[in-house]
Structure 1
């Protein structure tokens, strides 16, 4: 066994133990309910939705995306979120992990602002953006914050998964992740989110959540967001979230 493989195994074991321990706590306290997350099933193809207007390519390869990547930058205020995204291929009713898939995430900071967007006044910044390559088990992990709301949208995290042959993109999948409404309400009762009350859009009124799937992926005619709910729980200091991306690629 190579040193690299051994290190990956140790890192995966630590991450898996942390997630299992956290979920055990969350289930025990009633903060996380089994069976409400449709897309948690490894045998369900994940539906795609719009990438939205704030996609920017060429973001840094990093796990912790809470701050700008420039030296000395500090993390933006928000509920710390440990997000695990796995990527698998579904074929002949069998799911296999996809290694070396490029997983990008991007979302707002606690104040509802995107980085790298002129209209947001954030040109030259890259907070809450980054990518990871999946390991041999199809796993990727990010340290981020729970996204703040902005007018017209329920809180969400954009993600993109790209597969490559050399430098050529062979599969390009885009979608968004959502939170259960009760969970969002709990988070938004804390600082810094509580300083921005009266959000105008919830899951039940969000155009993407309530709408149909788009692009490649599973075909869903309406209420696509119910298939894109993260599995989430929290304690007083951090959120643990996960989602299984299943592709037919």
Structure 2
């Protein structure tokens, strides 16, 4: 008998081949250079980088490294907002936590308020009388010093001629004070000419969010439901609220028609100015950064 895991993986790999036809760079963006009417060339909002970024990650598309979770095929489509054209040959970093809220490189840093275990009642929001979830459960921000050399759920790619990068990953989990999200950074290559990442500068720092109904649905399955902490809803996440997160919600499709938990394709369009070095957004002192 063929295992469900093998079937799910086969569907995931098949979906990778079909991605170009389904979530390719939108035709409307290709035409934006002449019409400027699609709105896709307006600069995307900056979001904070958080404390878990690590430089010099692996150049790769599959970043799962065996981490379990709902398969996610993530397409980031880049637009050169200055010229209103696809942004080719840019460097895109992504990083996010696993299903239980842990980032590679920081596995010895306390990122969860409670150990793994059965999800308590009301786990998809603050319990009655909890008050400010961020202030009560969030640990102090780490200093950004890695505690290990693990690299799961981290990777780097260069955008193709259509401005696209595609990462094979899993749907992110959550941790105290933050809803489910994926970090990404766009860097414009320098003039070294040797294919290295040297000499580049950062043109955009963003975060990717997902519709609340979808996230609540996915968090009911393992391994996500084994995370005992109270999940911060999209509407209670400070980054989402204060840093224009509503404009950074990915569009998505299920890999098949049976269930979203079998896997998803998702796309976010980021319009950046490749000649600028914007300052990433920051929250006030005392707020949890991640």
Query: What TM-score bracket applies, with the shorter chain setting the length?
Result: 0.7 to 0.9
Q: CA deviation at 1:42?
A: 1.9
Tell me whether 1:100 sits opposite 2:89 in the alignment. Answer: yes
Q: Which residue of 2 aligns with 1:244?
A: 269
Q: Which residue of 2 aligns with 1:72?
A: none
Q: CA deviation at 1:150?
A: 0.6
- Please tell me whether the aligned partners of residues 41 and 244 of structure 1 are also in contact (alpha carbons under 8 angstroms): no
- Please tell me whether the aligned partners of residues 114 and 122 of structure 1 are also in contact (alpha carbons under 8 angstroms): no
Q: CA offsets, 1:40-82, max 9 Å, x none? A: 9523321111100101011100100001xxxxxxx11100000
TM-score relative to the length of structure 1: 0.74
> Which is strand-richer, 1 or 2?
1
**What's the RMSD between the two structures over aligned residues?**
2.2
Q: Which residue of 2 aligns with 1:221?
A: none
Over 4 Å off, 4+ runs: none
Q: Which residue of 1 aligns with 2:10?
A: none
The structure 2 residue matched to 1:232, chosen from 238, 252, 255, is 252
Distance in 2 between residues matched to 1:151 and 1:82, nearest whole Å: 25
Q: CA offsets, 1:182-203, max 9 Å, x none? A: 1101111222112225634111
The structure 2 residue matched to 1:193, chosen from 220, 224, 236, is 224
Q: Which residue of 2 aligns with 1:15?
A: 19
- Please tell me whether the aligned partners of residues 149 and 199 of structure 1 are also in contact (alpha carbons under 8 angstroms): no
Q: For residues 122 and 144 of structure 1, do their structure 2 counterparts lie closer, same or farther at Cα, with a shift above 3 Å needed?
A: farther
- Please tell me whether the aligned partners of residues 86 and 140 of structure 1 are also in contact (alpha carbons under 8 angstroms): yes
Q: For residues 122 and 64 of structure 1, do their structure 2 counterparts lie closer, same or farther at Cα, with a shift above 3 Å needed?
A: farther
- Please tell me whether the aligned partners of residues 83 and 144 of structure 1 are also in contact (alpha carbons under 8 angstroms): yes
Tell me whether 1:125 sits opposite 2:156 in the alignment. Answer: no
The structure 1 residue matched to 2:67, chosen from 76, 83, 98, is 76
Pick the structure with greater CA Rg: 2
- Equivalent residues in 2 for 1:167-182, closer than 5 Å: 167-182=198-213
Q: Which residue of 1 aligns with 2:129?
A: none
- Please tell me whether the aligned partners of residues 164 and 171 of structure 1 are also in contact (alpha carbons under 8 angstroms): no
For structure 1, the residue ranges without an aligned partner over 5 or more in a row are 1-11, 21-39, 68-74, 213-223
Tell me whether 1:89 sits opposite 2:80 in the alignment. Answer: yes
The structure 2 residue matched to 1:64, chosen from 55, 58, 62, is 62
- Please tell me whether the aligned partners of residues 175 and 229 of structure 2 are also in contact (alpha carbons under 8 angstroms): no
Q: Which residue of 2 aligns with 1:116?
A: 105
TM-score relative to the length of structure 2: 0.64
- Please tell me whether the aligned partners of residues 78 and 270 of structure 2 are also in contact (alpha carbons under 8 angstroms): yes
Q: For residues 41 and 122 of structure 1, do their structure 2 counterparts lie closer, same or farther at Cα, with a shift above 3 Å needed?
A: farther
Q: Which residue of 2 aligns with 1:220?
A: none
Distance in 1 between residues matched to 2:272 and 2:23, nearest whole Å: 23
- Please tell me whether the aligned partners of residues 209 and 225 of structure 1 are also in contact (alpha carbons under 8 angstroms): yes
Distance in 1 between residues matched to 2:271 and 2:85, nearest whole Å: 9
Q: Which residue of 2 aligns with 1:161?
A: 186
Moved more, 143-152 or 165-174: 165-174
